[in-house]
Structure 1
Amino acid sequence: MQIHNGKQQRKSQGAKGNVGRLLISINVAGSPGPIRFVVSEDEQVGSVISTALRSYARQGRLPVLGSDPGDFLLYCANAESDALSPWETIGSRGARNFLLWKKQKAEEANEAGNPPASPKGRWKSWLNKSLNLKIPSHQSPHDKYF
């Protein structure tokens, strides 16, 4: 009975204002699978990016990304939004799935002869390619004869 009371006390303490913890999943462009780890809801996005980069390097994943969190953007995977601000809290959007994208340097884009692409468009096209999404036609095969 005491164990049961202890569990109730912990639950009620969490409801009083203690910050919760989230299991988040971060997909990295070009990497075969997501990185998963637990964070506090009030942890800043910049800190989460730093933790993700350390975890990615520790696991020996490819491609090698680097270690400067300022070179990366974090997006909510299930929302059409701009990159999260490094000072925003990770729990502010209610999302648990994210995309980590390396910022393209202006010099690199100019050397390639292409203008810098929008990071928002790049991660969406990467996501579509990686998930191999195919949108079926809304026409039936018989419609083309009429």
Structure 2
Amino acid sequence: MLLSKQKKNQVGKGNRFLISITVIGSAGPIRFVVNEEELVAAVMDTALKSYAREGRLPVLGSDLNNFVLYCPLAGIDGLSPWETIGSLGVRNFMLCKKPQAEKVVDDEKSMTMARKGSGSWKAWFHKSRNLKVSSH
């Protein structure tokens, strides 16, 4: 009797499995157990919270709208945040920041930035030329 109740509870919860999410630029993957019926958005949220809790670098932030979860076996398109994580039948994923659209800057600001930036790269260039390289 007790065994049949446990099986019913497990069926209602869905299957759970270990997933691995690699964050681009981080030292290693994040691994945790998920329910196969969880939404991709919930998995991304858990991954970002785990990443921050572990103190990993680079610092990512926690806004889900800035990230895309990819499945390397499913192609180049990111997963929809509204599909279930178990729908593809894979356990390895990649979390990437969405590409930022280039901001349009008016001509005056871009000229000012170009002038400010030109001095810094020139100074770096001159410093690097003056470094002495010892030969053996």
Question: TM-score w.r.t. structure 1 length?
Answer: 0.63
Q: In structure 1, how many angstroms separate the alpha carbons of the residues matched to 2:64 and 2:47?
A: 9
Partner SS state of residue 74, structure 2:
coil
Contiguous gaps of at least 5 residues in structure 1: 112-146
Q: CA RMSD in A?
A: 2.4
How far is 1:63 from its partner?
0.4
Question: What amino acid is aligned across from residue 68 of structure 1 in structure 2?
Answer: D
Measured after TM superposition, the shift of residue 21 of structure 1 is 0.8
Pairwise CA distance, 1:82: 1.1
User: Does the 8 Å CA contact 1:14/1:20 hold for their aligned counterparts?
Assistant: no
Aligned pair count? 105
1:37 corresponds in structure 2 to 32
Q: How does 1:1-146 map to 2 (within 5 A)?
A: 6=3, 10=6, 12-13=7-8, 18-107=13-102
TM-aligned CA distance change 1:107 to 1:81, over 3 Å? closer
Residues in 1 aligned to 2:10 and 2:26: alpha-carbon distance in whole angstroms = 37
Q: TM-score normalised to the size of structure 2? A: 0.68
% identical equivalent positions: 57
Deviations 1:40-93 (A, max 9, x none): 111110111111000000000000001101100001133324100010110111
Contact 1:23 1:37 in 2 (8 A): yes
Matches of 2:36 and 2:9, distance apart in 1: 13
Contact persistence 1:53–1:67 (CA under 8 A): yes
More helix per residue: 2
* Max Rg structure: 2
